[in-house]
C-alpha cells in the first residue's frame, strides 16, 4: 500500500487539500506548505492535530440536532479523515450513535436532501454492462467492501439509493473500532430501483427512479457485481448489509464459498447477541446449556441469532438435538413447529416437533401457539426480540416470563430506538428490577429502586470490525461459521459483568479497540484452525493484528 508520503509526492496544491485521505488542513507544516505548493492556500497558523480536534469538537457541539451533528461529522470525514477519526476516538460514546445507529437511519431517509459530495461507488441497474469499468475507477487497493441494495435499511424499509448511508457508516466503524485504514475501504450501493413511492415521487431523489428489479434480472445483476469484485479485488472482504430477508440468506449461501464474505445482519448480529447472552447467563450464575430461549421474529436477524446460539450451545457441550429442543422461534403466525405448512426449508430446521409440545395448555392441533402461549408453556429464561415492531413485548407476557425465572434475560434488539420491542425502564418495572437487559439501540442507564442499571447495547460494532481485523491479519480466504462462534466466545470473555454483576454485559465503547484486538486474534486463530488461512504462530498473528491496525495521526 502507498504511504501518505508516497501519495503526497504525486498530489500538490488544491488537489491535495481536496483529498480527505491526505489533507492535513491547517496542520501542514511551513516546510510542507512550501514543498507541496500550499503556501497561501491555508491560514498562516500551523495547528497541531490536538488543536484541530478541539476546534472540531466545539463546532460539533454547536450543531443543534443529532442529524445536524451527523451532517457535520460526515462533512469532516469528506474533508480530513485523520482528523475525523481522531475526533471520534476521543468521543466514542458520544459520537458513535451519530455516525451510525440510530441517527444514520434518519440520514438514510434524508440522504438526497443532505447529499454533499461523492463517497464510494453507486452501481445502478442501467449500468449493468459497465460494472467492471465502474470498479476500475477505484484506483487504490481495497481490503473491505460493504455493499447494500437499500431495500431493508435498519427497521425503516426500502430507502433506495439513500441506503448508501449504511455502507459509509459501517466502514467508518471498521476504521474507528477495528483500525482498518480508511483508504482501503469502499462503500457500494447497488441501485436496483425502489418500491418506496415517497422516494420515487421526490423531485430531489438522487437514485434510479424505477420499481425494484426482481427475480432472474436481480440475480444476474448481483452475479455480475460479484464477478467484477472478484476480478478487481480478489482478496477483498465483502460484507453484505441491509438486504431484504428473502435475498440475504440466499445471497450469502450462494457466495460464501466463492469469496471471503459474510452478512452482518445475519452473522454479525447473531455473534454479538450470542456473546451477550452467554455473558448474561454466566453473570447470573447459570450455564448456557441450561437455558430455554425464545426468539420473537423469524427474519434474517432472528434466524441468524437462533442458529448462532445453537452453535454456541453445542460448543458449550450440548448435543445438537438437545440444543435445538431448547429454542422456540415465533413469527407473526405463532410458534414454528413441524406441522406448519407455511415454512420454508430454512425455517423448518428451527421448528419444534409437535410431539415436544404435549402437555401444553393450548390446543396445538387447532391453532398455532401464540407468543403468549409459548411464554406460558415453554417458560423461557431468555427472550430475544428481532421484530422491528415497537411494543411487541407486552407487559402481561413479560410478567408471565418473570414468574418462572429469577433473572429473566430480555433483549429487545430492534432498531432504531423507536422500533424497540420494549423500553428498558418498563422491563425493569414489570420484572421488579430482576431483568438483565441488552438492546439493539443505545439507551441511557435506568434508575430502579435506588440502583442504576446499565443497559448494554448489542451493537454489531463489537463484531464486524474485529472480524475484518482478524480476517486481514490472518489473510483468510473465506469466513467460516467457526470464526463467528470464536468471535462470540471472545466477546463473552470481555464482559465486565463476569467480574461485577452490576456492570454492563458488554465492554465500554471507549475500550472498543482493545476489544477488537482480543476478538480479532480469536477470529484469526480460528481461521487457521478451519484451514482458510496459512499457518503461523499465535505470536505472529498478534503482531499482524498490531501491524494491521491504523492509528489516526499525521
pLDDT, mean of residues 4-29? 85
pLDDT tens readout for residues 298-312: 988 999 999 999 999
Instruction: Answer whether residue 47 shows pLDDT above 90.
Output: yes
pLDDT at 442: 86
Q: How far apart are CA 451 and CA 335, in angstroms?
A: 36
Give the residue extent of every domain in the chain.
Answer: 85-259
State which CATH number among 3.40.50.300, 3.40.50.10380, 3.30.1490.100, 3.40.50.620 fits the domain covering 85-259: 3.40.50.10380
pLDDT at 102: 87
Strand order, beta sheet including 121-124: 121-124, 185-191, 144-148, 237-240, 261-263
- Do the bridges between strand 446-448 and strand 451-453 make them parallel or antiparallel, or are there none, so unpaired? antiparallel
pLDDT at 2: 42
Which SS3 state, helix, strand or coil, does residue 189 take? strand
pLDDT, mean of residues 210-237? 98
For residue 248, is the peptide bond before it cis, meaning its omega torsion is within 30 degrees of 0?
no
pLDDT at 260: 99
pLDDT at 8: 46
pLDDT tens readout for residues 270-325: 999 999 999 999 999 999 999 999 999 998 899 999 999 999 999 889 999 999 99
Q: How far apart are CA 440 and CA 75, in angstroms?
A: 27
As annotated, the active-site residues are 100, 170
Q: How far apart are CA 243 and CA 303, in angstroms?
A: 15
Average pLDDT, the chain: 96
Query: Between helices 300-315 and 481-493, what is the axis angle to 10°?
Result: 70
pLDDT, mean of residues 331-343? 96
| Residue 5 banded pLDDT, cuts 50, 70, 90 | very low
Q: How far apart are CA 328 and CA 409, in angstroms?
A: 15
pLDDT tens readout for residues 95-139: 999 999 889 999 999 999 999 999 999 999 999 999 999 999 999
pLDDT at 1: 41
Alpha-carbon distance values, 223 to 148, 276, 428 (Å): 14, 35, 48
Q: Which residue matches cell numbers 435475498?
A: 247
pLDDT, mean of residues 522-527? 98
pLDDT at 7: 44
pTM higher than 0.85: yes
CB-based contact 234:226 (threshold 8 Å): no
pLDDT at 52: 99
Burial 151-176 (b: 16+ CB within 10 A, else e): bbbbbbebbbbbbbbbbbbbbbbbbb
pLDDT at 256: 97
Instruction: Answer whether residue 486 shows pLDDT above 60.
Output: yes
What count of other Cβ atoms lies within 10 Å of the Cβ of residue 262?
A: 27
Which SS3 state, helix, strand or coil, does residue 68 take? helix
| Residue 502 banded pLDDT, cuts 50, 70, 90 | confident
Percentage of the chain modeled with pLDDT above 70:
98
Backbone angles phi, psi at 422, to 5 degrees: -165, 160
pLDDT at 3: 43
How much is the CA Rg of the chain, to the nearest whole Å? 24
- Partnered with residue 384 across adjacent β-strands are 295, 411
- Do the bridges between strand 121-124 and strand 144-148 make them parallel or antiparallel, or are there none, so unpaired? unpaired
pLDDT tens readout for residues 442-474: 899 999 999 999 999 999 999 999 999 999 999
Amino acid at each position: 500500500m502507498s504511504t501518505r508520503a508516497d501519495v503526497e509526492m504525486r498530489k500538490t496544491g488544491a488537489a491535495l487539500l481536496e483529498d480527505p485521505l491526505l489533507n492535513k488542513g491547517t496542520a501542514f507544516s511551513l516546510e510542507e506548505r512550501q514543498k507541496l505548493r500550499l503556501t497561501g492556500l491555508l491560514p498562516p497558523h500551523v495547528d497541531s492535530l490536538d488543536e484541530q480536534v478541539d476546534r472540531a469538537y466545539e463546532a460539533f457541539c454547536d450543531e443543534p440536532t443529532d442529524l445536524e451533528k451527523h451532517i457535520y461529522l460526515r462533512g469532516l470525514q469528506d474533508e480530513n479523515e485523520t482528523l475525523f477519526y481522531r475526533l471520534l476516538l476521543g468521543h466514542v460514546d458520544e459520537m458513535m450513535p451519530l455516525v451510525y445507529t440510530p441517527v444514520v437511519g434518519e440520514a438514510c431517509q434524508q440522504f438526497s436532501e443532505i447529499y454533499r459530495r461523492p463517497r464510494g461507488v453507486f452501481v445502478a441497474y442501467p449500468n449493468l454492462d459497465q460494472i467492471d469499468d465502474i470498479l476500475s475507477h477505484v484506483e487504490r487497493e481495497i481490503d473491505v467492501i460493504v455493499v447494500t441494495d437499500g431495500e431493508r435499511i435498519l427497521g425503516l424499509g426500502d430507502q433506495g439509493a439513500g441506503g448508501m448511508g449504511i455502507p459509509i457508516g459501517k466502514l467508518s466503524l471498521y476504521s474507528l473500532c477495528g483500525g482498518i485504514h480508511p483508504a482501503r475501504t469502499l462503500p457500494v450501493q447497488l441501485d436496483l430501483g425502489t418500491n418506496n413511492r415517497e422516494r420515487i415521487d421526490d423531485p430531489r431523489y438522487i437514485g434510479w427512479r424505477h420499481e425494484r428489479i426482481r427475480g432472474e434480472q436481480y440475480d444476474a445483476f448481483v452475479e455480475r457485481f460479484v464477478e467484477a469484485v472478484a476480478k478487481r479485488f480478489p482478496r477483498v472482504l465483502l460484507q453484505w448489509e441491509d438486504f431484504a430477508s428473502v435475498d440475504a440468506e440466499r445471497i450469502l449461501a450462494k457466495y460464501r464459498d466463492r469469496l471471503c464474505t459474510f452478512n452482518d445482519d445475519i452473522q454479525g448480529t447473531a455473534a454479538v447477541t450470542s456473546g451477550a447472552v452467554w455473558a448474561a447467563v454466566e453473570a447470573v450464575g447459570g450455564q448456557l446449556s441450561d437455558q430455554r430461549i425464545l426468539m420473537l421474529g423469524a427474519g434474517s436477524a432472528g434466524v441468524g441469532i437462533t442458529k448462532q446460539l445453537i452453535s454456541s450451545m453445542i460448543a458449550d457441550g450440548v448435543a445438537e438435538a438437545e440444543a435445538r429442543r431448547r429454542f422456540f422461534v415465533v413469527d407473526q403466525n405463532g410458534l414454528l413447529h413441524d406441522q406448519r405448512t407455511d415454512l420454508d426449508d430454512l425455517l423448518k430446521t428451527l421448528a419444534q416437533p409437535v410431539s415436544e409440545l404435549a402437555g401444553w395448555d393450548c390446543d396445538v392441533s387447532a391453532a398455532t401457539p401464540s407468543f403468549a402461549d409459548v411464554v406460558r408453556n415453554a417458560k423461557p429464561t431468555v427472550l430475544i426480540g428481532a421484530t422491528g415492531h415497537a411494543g411487541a413485548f407486552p407487559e402481561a407476557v413479560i410478567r408471565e416470563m418473570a414468574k418462572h425465572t429469577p433473572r429473566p434475560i430480555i433483549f429487545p434488539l430492534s432498531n432504531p430506538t423507536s422500533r424497540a420491542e420494549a423500553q428498558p425502564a418498563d422491563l425493569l418495572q414489570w420484572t421488579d428490577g430482576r431483568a438483565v437487559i441488552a438492546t439493539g439501540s443505545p439507551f441511557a442507564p435506568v434508575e430502579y429502586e435506588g440502583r442504576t442499571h446499565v443497559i448494554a447495547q448489542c451493537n454489531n460494532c463489537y463484531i464486524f470490525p474485529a472480524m475484518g481485523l482478524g480476517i486481514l491479519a490472518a489473510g483468510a480466504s473465506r469466513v467460516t461459521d467457526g470464526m463467528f462462534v470464536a468471535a462470540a466466545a471472545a466477546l463473552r470473555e470481555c464482559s465486565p459483568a463476569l467480574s461485577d454483576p452490576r456492570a454492563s454485559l458488554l465492554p465500554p465503547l471507549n475500550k472498543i479497540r482493545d476489544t477488537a484486538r482480543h476478538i480479532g486474534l480469536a477470529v484469526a486463530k480460528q481461521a487457521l484452525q478451519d484451514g482458510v488461512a496459512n499457518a503461523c504462530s499465535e505470536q505472529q498473528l498478534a503482531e499482524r493484528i498490531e501491524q494491521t491496525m491504523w492509528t489516526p495521526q499525521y
